[in-house]
């Protein structure tokens, strides 16, 4: 991005939805005034506010100092000692929650398992003893490469119990990706499974681990959970069956008191170039913010069944499938497999079957549901739902409206939550009983979080002017560094804008102060000197009734600097033609102005996405510019999408 320029904002959205009165009446935060009071109080003294939230956590030893800030290095609740596994399990056992369902899990083939807090505690304690027996000690690292089964959560909590740092590697990653992460993290043990189910097929995880582990000299043991019972190769001495080890240990393992800054997990995110970044999260601050946000943002109640559809391999799964909900004593629903197996109505069938109350998913999933068609949710009773959430990308206003009407039946507030792997927990989001929502905006920061939109030199921009989204005060669940690379941490997040954390998003604030995320600044398009965020042009395209999903990128243009190339997928069964292209151009011109009219429009069945579902505009940019893709495609979820686009090009 060039130095002083900001991003122009062209999107206008005026639909506003106040929280439904009956929802607000029962919510933890019941009115906008109440939110505002909390926010203002916290803004005056964020440390005091977060200390109050940390009181909700069980500490073996209370902290001496709330925050030690040595920019850009933070320590929260210094001197305190606690254990997250204890907070997620043991402390519920002395209450009525002892026999409450902690996890209700459904496998892709359809089986259901329920684990109460007592049962989960027992499994976690046993697996902690298994790890100890294999020589894992406080401070060691353990890699987890598993399907979405309860044992993944059990393994995480067992690591946390003894102070081993886990690194979960998403089950869609390749052997090379495992090798790089395991070696960078210095992991001693890999926990995996024989296989997992995805869209009716078996993914042979153990085979993939075998290929990786041969190139990981530090790995002493591989533990294999039996999920599919398919045949696996075996390396005697290194490989062990989960169930056999579990038979050799007792179910009693005290939770280790750990320093507040003890490393809880490393989660690798692919940087835009080169080596993945090992985002490091620690203990006391992380659990304080995730537990607080879980309760307030999700308006979590004891009687809820809560489902976050994220894979545990992403940060959303860490903070809002495992740690945040269990610290609150919630009942968490988990689903192993694909949303379109055996049919396109799988999610809605499960919501109906388990009477799920809170659904937290991603815009990429919502756009897929729109493409598949309304007939699938229409087959099921979704009346148990009371709150809907999204995370991961900007949600186009039309996708928001679809979610609101077709899934929420106009009854359920929607929380659009902005945060990142690096932030550890939710940063900007409505409080559902308090904040009036507008489709497409994550609205306002949660109390205790100070964010702003600024120019490159750090000056605030005016209302509706685009700029850089920054965080101005350290927050408890922030990343502490990049594993083994303090310098890269400083460079990546703290060197662009003076005294601020910046991790790459463009944004604007509207006249109400609401934050609109405009996309990654690397993706900004410069048309005739006007800098446009991708999210706004895409939202204009998606607001056309024929369009399910759109990605826009810039390609060089002699006249305008950059021209806009749009890649568009259509709603269930529709076919694209020249006439529709013209109609879409006219539609964008009407919605946001002639300036943003796409120069090229290409219809495609699917867009290239990362394994966590984000559109990879970098690849589309290459394709629109040079007609081919030569860059790194290792994080691409489905290579055939690019191959298909490339063929169409020829």
Chain contacts with ligand PRX (rule: CB under 6 A) = 269, 315-316, 391-394, 416-421, 442, 503-505, 517, 520, 612
Query: What's the closest the beta carbon of residue 196 comes to ligand PRX, in angstroms?
Result: 21
Q: Which is nearer to ligand PRX, 97 or 614 (CB)?
A: 614
Q: Which is nearer to ligand PRX, 104 or 407 (CB)?
A: 407
Nearer to ligand PRX, 386 or 614 (CB): 614
Q: Which CB sits closer to ligand PRX, 80 or 276?
A: 276
Nearer to ligand PRX, 149 or 517 (CB): 517
Query: Quick one: 218 or 271, whose CB is closer to ligand PRX?
Result: 271
Shortest Cβ 490–ligand PRX spacing (Å): 19
The nearest distance, CB 614 to ligand PRX, in angstroms, is 7
Residue 24, phi then psi, degrees to nearest 5: -60, -40
Question: Under 8 Å CB-to-CB from 387, ≥6 apart: which residues?
Answer: 23, 298, 299, 357, 358, 359, 412, 413, 415, 432
Closest CB to ligand PRX among residues 394, 554: 394
Both tokens assigned to 86? 């204890």
- Bridge-based pairing of strands 65-70 and 547-557 is unpaired
**Residues 19, 410 contacting (CB under 8 angstroms):** no
Taken in order 595, 599, 604, 610, the sign of the CA dihedral is: negative
Residue 415 pairs with which residues in a beta bridge?
389
Nearest residue (beta carbon) to ligand PRX: 421
Nearest approach, Cβ of 504 to ligand PRX (angstroms)?
6
- What is the closest distance, in whole angstroms, from the C-beta atom of residue 435 to ligand PRX in the complex? 14
Q: Report, in Å, the least distance between residue 394 CB and ligand PRX.
A: 4
- Rounded Cα–Cα distance for residues 230 and 207 (Å): 11
The CA distance from 92 to 117, in Å, is 7
Min CB(508)–ligand PRX separation in Å? 12
Contact 548, 571 (CB under 8 A): yes
In whole angstroms, the minimum distance from the beta carbon of 316 to ligand PRX comes to 5
CB of 514 to ligand PRX, least distance (A): 12
d(CA 520, CA 420): 12
> Using CA atoms, how far apart are residues 74 and 606, in angstroms rounded to an integer?
42
CB of 539 to ligand PRX, least distance (A): 11
Q: CB nearer to ligand PRX: give 194 or 549.
A: 549
Sheet holding 101-106, edge to edge: 112-116, 101-106, 331-335, 305-308, 358-361, 387-391, 414-417
Task: Give the separation between CA 419 and CA 310, rounded to whole angstroms.
Answer: 14
Nearer to ligand PRX, 271 or 484 (CB): 271
| Measured CA distances, 432 to 272, 295, 296, 358 (Å) | 34, 11, 8, 12
Beta carbon nearer to ligand PRX, 125 or 420 = 420
* Nearest in space to 645 (alpha carbons), one of 618, 616, 624: 624
> Which residues have C-beta within 8 Å of that of residue 136, sequence separation ≥ 6?
142, 159, 162, 164, 188, 189
């Amino acid at each position: 991005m060039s130095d002083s320029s900001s991003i122009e904002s062209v999107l206008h959205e005026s639909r506003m939805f106040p929280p439904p009165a009956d929802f607000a009446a029962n919510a933890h935060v019941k009115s906008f005034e109440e939110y505002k009071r909390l926010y203002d109080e916290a803004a005056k003294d964020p440390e005091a506010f977060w200390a109050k939230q940390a009181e909700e956590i069980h500490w073996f030893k209370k902290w001496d100092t709330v925050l030690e800030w040595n920019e850009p290095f933070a320590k929260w609740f210094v001197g305190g000692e606690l254990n997250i596994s204890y907070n997620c399990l043991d402390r519920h056992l002395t209450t009525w929650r002892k026999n409450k369902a902690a996890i209700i899990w459904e496998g892709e083939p359809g089986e259901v398992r329920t684990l109460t807090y007592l049962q989960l505690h027992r499994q976690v304690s046993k697996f902690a003893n298994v790890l100890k027996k294999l020589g894992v000690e406080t401070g060691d690292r353990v890699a987890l490469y598993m399907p979405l089964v309860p044992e993944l959560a059990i393994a995480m909590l067992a690591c946390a119990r003894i102070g081993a740092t886990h690194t979960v590697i998403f089950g869609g990653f390749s052997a090379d990706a495992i090798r790089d992460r395991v070696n960078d993290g210095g992991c001693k043990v890999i926990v995996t499974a024989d296989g997992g189910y995805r869209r009716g097929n078996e993914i042979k995880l153990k085979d993939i681990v075998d290929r990786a582990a041969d190139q990981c000299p530090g790995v002493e043991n591989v533990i294999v959970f039996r999920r599919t019972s398919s045949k696996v190769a075996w390396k005697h001495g290194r490989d062990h069956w989960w169930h056999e080890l579990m038979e050799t240990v007792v179910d009693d393992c005290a939770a280790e008191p750990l320093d507040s800054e003890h490393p809880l997990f490393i989660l690798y995110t692919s940087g835009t170039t080169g080596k993945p970044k090992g985002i490091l999260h620690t203990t006391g601050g992380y659990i304080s913010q995730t537990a607080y946000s879980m309760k307030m943002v999700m308006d979590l109640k004891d009687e809820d069944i809560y489902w976050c559809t994220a894979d545990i391999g992403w940060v959303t799964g860490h903070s809002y499938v495992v740690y945040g909900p269990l610290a609150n004593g919630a009942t968490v629903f988990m689903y192993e497999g694909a949303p379109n197996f055996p049919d396109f109505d799988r999610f809605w069938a499960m919501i109906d079957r388990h009477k799920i109350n809170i659904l937290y998913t991603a815009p990429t999933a919502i756009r897929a549901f729109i493409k598949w068609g309304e007939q699938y949710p229409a087959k099921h009773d979704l009346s148990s739902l009371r709150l809907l959430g999204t995370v991961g990308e900007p949600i186009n206003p039309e996708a928001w409206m679809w979610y609101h009407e077709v899934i929420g039946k106009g009854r359920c507030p929607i929380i659009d939550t902005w945060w990142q792997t690096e932030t550890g927990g939710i940063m900007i989001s409505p409080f559902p009983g308090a904040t009036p929502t507008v489709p497409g905006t994550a609205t306002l920061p949660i109390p205790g979080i100070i964010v702003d939109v600024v120019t490159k030199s750090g000056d605030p921009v005016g209302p509706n002017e685009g700029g850089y989204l920054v965080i101005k005060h350290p927050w408890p669940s922030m990343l502490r560094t990049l594993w083994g690379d303090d310098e890269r941490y400083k460079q990546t997040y703290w060197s662009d804008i003076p005294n601020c954390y910046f991790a790459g998003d463009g944004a604007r604030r509207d006249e109400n102060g609401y934050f609109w995320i405009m996309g990654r600044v690397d993706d900004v398009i410069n048309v005739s000197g006007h800098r446009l965020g991708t999210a706004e042009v895409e939202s204009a395209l998606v607001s056309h009734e024929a369009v399910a999903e759109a990605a826009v990128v810039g390609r060089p243009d002699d006249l305008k600097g950059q021209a806009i190339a749009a890649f568009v997928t259509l709603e269930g069964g529709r076919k694209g033609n020249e006439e529709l292209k013209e109609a879409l151009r006219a539609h964008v011109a009407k919605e946001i102005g002639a300036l943003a009219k796409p120069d090229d429009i290409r219809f495609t069945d699917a867009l290239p996405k990362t394994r966590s579902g984000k559109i990879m505009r970098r690849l589309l940019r290459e394709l629109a510019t040079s007609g081919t893709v030569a860059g790194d495609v290792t994080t691409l979820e489905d290579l055939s999408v690019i191959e298909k686009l490339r063929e169409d090009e020829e």
